């Protein structure tokens, strides 16, 4: 049987009543302590309710517009004039955080907002020195003073401690540190380390060196006295103090400290970034509540192009401005947006955004017209057009240089930007339909008030915007699909069919094979590795707008140069003013090698055609094929040459006539020996002055046989130039400063007569009325008189020097 142990009695046991008195005596202070703690908690809660903590709202303050890589483009100060770029501990350099915590508050993650030891140390130092040496403030206490004005008094210190405790109660350590990173003062209107890093150093706070991190860590202690742009020596001294602290704490190595101390204190003049300023303003107006707007802009490319524009315009007349827009064809994202040559320059009206200002497009719409005509089966790339004085129901367009070239191909007319052929094609397409197709592709034309679409549209008789043109030109790299430029990543991609893939490809091929004799033009078809640049220029009436638009596989580039107030800039036009800048910008762009235009679309094929009839060479008898051309045809369409308008006596095209054995023409009721039928390929009447003698002879109708009545095929009544004789040599009067003038008449003419000197229009007369021409240059000249029905006369003359 197991023995049971007896309990051991406690020595000197207390009576039961005594033990109760002792228990009550010991519990009384504990209860008092607990009650006191509870009272303090209740008091703290009450004070927290009575004096709530007012934290800055995360979505208030300044706005920063950023490039696609986060580089600030432009900052908009808040209502207090403060520049602040929101950031977090995750987005700043670890070096900065190390320097900040080691120098300002190494116990930050351990104290409850107040460091009693630091406060006591500050009091002792103040007693020893007779003034405040160290306030003993923690980072949390500094944040409390940053977000709420607190006086530097004893009472203020109590308030600051209370607010610090509130911060620790309501926020975690990372949130408190983020408040400091965003709101710490760095001198002038700059708040927050990200804004300070960009303002002083021109770089993000995530890429700070050891020396830069140390300088920015100490700067908020006395921002006005330590500003590196004004007091570099003081800033360096303070920075080195932080560096020594980092070495003493063993956080950075001796080698790192030595390298950091060698680094000079270099700071930019304090300023907010101002790149893509007008785009930033545009987006800020669209999103006034947004504090951080990320764009599609490439910061480095933007700055480089802005510098190039500024340098380029220094050569141009005063008050000239410029706009440049570069769009990535694959994404339609804008990489460069230059809205003005010099932002806020009053002389250049630098506040006007010329990327979206309505201006006359000049000839920049012509590629879309010829593309639409290809889609309609009206032309091939080598169809015959006539560049000669023409009357379109009272509208008489001329070319930019007032000269004419006679028979030209579609490709030549587009490359040389000839006006009369373009108006002729628009007359066949229809102005209303053309305007509607442009609108469907994103180009909304602004017509003069009360005006309807008309033929002048193709020569700039309406207005549009650079961003609309650039968006439409992306169709030549994207298979005929145009798109609106995108300025922020979240902007949806908006695309519209403008041309068929085939016509877009043919037009781009034409524009890519247009040599340019200007500064910076591509050598052997490429620039900086880019494939051949397809380009088009334009100049509005009165030299008010100079345009150049370029397309590569990867990019579409638009350039406008002019005066924002619309006043003329004589002598400044697209080919000599905007085109060199456009090529310069192309040379600055990376080559994405996306190769949108490398594959020839189905339906596009090469075919040989014949002038003047326009049909396929394979189906044209050799004697009727006066000139053979290799053309791009779309979907098998090989249309004939346009029929002539308002011509009754002359009929272009294939003519069948009966002739006798002598080759004389037989009219309807006339017959002759050896009667047979011959075919004649006739050129458009207005092309006649430019034909070779052989072409002219082969296109001439045989003379009527004797005794045959006149027929409707008779050529226009001949005219003759009176006043000079063929081959005459003229001499300027000695010592005369006036140009040589001659007075001529077109005998036999009954209607309007156009007078040309060396192919350049000089004026018009009616019937046989006199016409005075100036012969300003010595040398050989050709004078042409041309009527609407195709009758013409020519004289070759010479002018000798006096």
Provide the annotated active-site residues.
Answer: 104, 363
The span from the CA of 484 to the CA of 461, in Å, is 23
How many CB atoms lie under 10 A from the CB of residue 643?
11
Radius of gyration of the chain (CA): 42
In the sheet that holds 760-766, the strands lie side by side as: 729-731, 792-800, 779-787, 752-757, 760-766
Decide: 178 and 155 in contact? Cβ < 8 Å: no
What is the b/e burial string over 780-799, where b = at least 16 CB atoms within 10 angstroms of the residue's CB? ebebbbbbbbbbbbebebeb
**All residues at 6 or more sequence positions from 781 whose CB lies less than 8 Å from its CB, including other chains:** 757, 758, 775, 796, 797, 798, 799
Q: For helices 139-147 and 94-104, give the axis angle rounded to 10 degrees.
A: 100
Phi, psi of 109 (to 5 degrees): -80, 0
The span from the CA of 181 to the CA of 92, in Å, is 9
424 three-class SS: helix
DSSP 111-123: SSS--HHHHHHHH
**All residues at 6 or more sequence positions from 790 whose CB lies less than 8 Å from its CB, including other chains:** 647, 649, 650, 684, 685, 686, 688, 715, 716
SS (H, E, C) 234-277: HHHHHHHHHHHHHHHCCCCCHHHHHHHHHCCCCCCCCCCCECCH
177-to-95, 103, 165, 271 alpha-carbon distances in Å: 15, 14, 14, 26
Decide: 324 and 559 in contact? Cβ < 8 Å: yes
Q: Read off the tokens for 553.
A: 């596989």
- Helices of type H across 336-418: 366-375, 410-415
Q: How many CA atoms lie within 13 A of 535 on its CB side?
A: 31
Of 440, 506, 497, give the one whose Cα is nearest residue 474: 497
751-to-422, 609, 716, 767, 789 alpha-carbon distances in Å: 25, 35, 12, 5, 9
First to last CA, the chain: 157
The span from the CA of 352 to the CA of 474, in Å, is 25
The span from the CA of 459 to the CA of 538, in Å, is 9
- Helices of type H across 451-578: 466-473, 501-512
Q: How many CA atoms lie within 13 A of 169 on its CB side?
A: 14
Q: Read off the tokens for 227.
A: 């500003």
Is the torsion defined by CA of 631, 635, 638, 643 positive or negative?
negative
Beta strand spans in 233-299 (E) = 292-294
- Helices of type H across 574-675: 579-588
Classify strands 653-659 and 384-387 as parallel, antiparallel or unpaired: unpaired
Per the DSSP assignment, residues forming a β-bridge with 294 are 66
Cα 44 to the center of its chain, rounded Å: 59
Decide: 146 and 180 in contact? Cβ < 8 Å: yes
How many CB atoms lie under 10 A from the CB of residue 313?
18
Q: How many CA atoms lie within 13 A of 263 on its CB side?
A: 20
Classify strands 792-800 and 729-731 as parallel, antiparallel or unpaired: parallel
Q: How many CA atoms lie within 13 A of 628 on its CB side?
A: 10
Q: Read off the tokens for 69.
A: 């890589």
């Amino acid at each position: 049987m197991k023995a049971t142990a007896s309990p051991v009695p406690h020595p000197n046991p207390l009576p039961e009543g005594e033990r109760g008195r002792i228990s009550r005596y010991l519990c009384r202070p504990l209860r008092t302590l607990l009650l006191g703690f509870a009272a303090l908690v209740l008091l703290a809660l009450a004070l927290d309710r009575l004096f709530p903590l007012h934290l800055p709202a995360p979505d208030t303050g300044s706005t920063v517009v950023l490039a696609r890589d986060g580089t600030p483009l432009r900052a908009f100060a808040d209502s207090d004039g403060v520049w602040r770029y929101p950031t977090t501990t995750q987005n700043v350099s670890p070096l900065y955080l190390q320097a900040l915590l080691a120098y300002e508050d190494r116990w930050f993650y351990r104290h409850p907002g107040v460091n009693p030891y630091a406060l006591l140390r500050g009091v002792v130092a103040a007693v020893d020195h007779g003034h405040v040496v160290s306030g003993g403030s923690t980072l949390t206490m500094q944040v409390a003073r940053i977000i709420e004005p607190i006086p530097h008094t004893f009472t203020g210190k109590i308030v600051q401690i209370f607010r610090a405790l509130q911060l620790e109660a309501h926020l975690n350590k990372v949130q408190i540190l983020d408040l400091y990173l965003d709101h710490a003062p760095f001198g002038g209107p700059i708040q927050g380390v990200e804004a300070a890093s960009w303002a002083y150093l021109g770089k993000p706070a995530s890429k700070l060196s050891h020396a830069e991190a140390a300088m920015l860590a100490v700067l908020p202690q006395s921002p006005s006295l330590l500003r590196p742009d004004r007091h570099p020596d003081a800033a360096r001294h303070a920075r080195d103090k932080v560096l020594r602290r980092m070495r003493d704490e063993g956080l950075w190595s001796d080698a790192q400290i030595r390298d950091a101390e060698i680094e000079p204190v270099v700071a930019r003049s304090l300023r907010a970034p101002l790149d893509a300023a007008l785009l930033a303003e545009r987006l800020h107006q669209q999103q006034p509540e947004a504090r951080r707007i990320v764009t599609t802009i490439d910061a480095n490319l933007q700055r480089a192009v802005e510098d190039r524009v500024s340098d380029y315009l220094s050569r141009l007349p005063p008050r000239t401005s410029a706009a440049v827009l570069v769009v990535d064809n694959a994404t339609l994202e804008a990489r460069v947006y230059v809205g003005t040559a010099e932002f806020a320059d009053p002389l250049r009206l630098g506040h006007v955004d010329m990327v979206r200002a309505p201006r006359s497009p000049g000839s920049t719409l012509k590629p879309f017209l010829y593309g639409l005509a290809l889609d309609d089966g009206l032309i091939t790339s080598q169809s015959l057009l006539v560049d000669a004085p023409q009357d379109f129901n009272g509208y008489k367009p001329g070319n930019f240089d007032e000269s004419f070239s006679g028979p030209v191909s579609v490709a030549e007319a587009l490359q040389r930007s000839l006006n009369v052929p373009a108006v002729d094609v628009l007359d066949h397409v229809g102005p209303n339909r053309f305007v509607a197709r442009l609108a469907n592709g994103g180009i909304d034309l602004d017509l003069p008030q009360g005006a309807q679409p008309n033929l002048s549209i193709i020569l700039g008789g309406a207005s549009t915007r650079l961003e609309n043109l650039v968006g439409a030109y992306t169709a030549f790299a994207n298979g005929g699909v145009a798109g609106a430029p995108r300025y922020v990543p979240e902007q949806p991609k908006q695309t519209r069919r403008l041309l068929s893939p085939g016509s877009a490809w043919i037009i781009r091929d034409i524009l890519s094979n247009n040599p340019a004799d200007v500064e910076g033009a591509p050598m052997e078809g490429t620039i900086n590795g880019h494939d051949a640049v397809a380009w088009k220029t334009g100049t509005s009436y009165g030299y008010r707008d100079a345009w150049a638009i370029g397309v590569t596989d990867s990019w579409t580039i638009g350039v406008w140069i002019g005066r924002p107030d619309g006043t003329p800039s004589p002598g400044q036009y697209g080919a000599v003013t905007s085109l060199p800048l456009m090529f310069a910008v192309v040379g600055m762009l990376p080559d994405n090698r996306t190769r949108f235009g490398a594959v020839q679309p189905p339906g596009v094929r090469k075919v040989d055609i014949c002038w003047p009839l326009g049909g396929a060479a394979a189906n044209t008898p050799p004697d009727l094929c006066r000139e053979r051309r290799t053309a791009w045809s779309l979907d098998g369409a090989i249309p004939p040459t346009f029929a002539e308008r308002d011509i009754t006596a002359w009929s272009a095209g294939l003519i069948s006539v009966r002739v006798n054995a002598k080759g004389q023409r037989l009219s309807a009721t006339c017959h002759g020996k050896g009667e047979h039928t011959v075919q004649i390929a006739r050129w458009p009447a207005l092309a006649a002055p430019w034909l070779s003698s052989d072409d002219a002879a082969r296109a001439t109708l045989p003379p009527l046989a004797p005794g045959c009545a006149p027929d409707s095929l008779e050529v226009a009544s001949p005219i003759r130039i009176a006043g000079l004789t063929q081959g005459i040599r003229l001499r300027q009067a000695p010592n005369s400063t006036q140009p040589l003038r001659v007075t001529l008449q077109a005998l036999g003419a009954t209607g309007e007569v156009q007078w040309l000197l060396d192919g350049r229009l000089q004026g018009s007369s009616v019937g046989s009325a006199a016409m005075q021409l100036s012969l300003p240059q010595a040398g050989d000249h050709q004078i042409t008189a041309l009527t609407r029905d195709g009758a013409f006369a020519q004289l070759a003359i010479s002018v000798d020097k006096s």
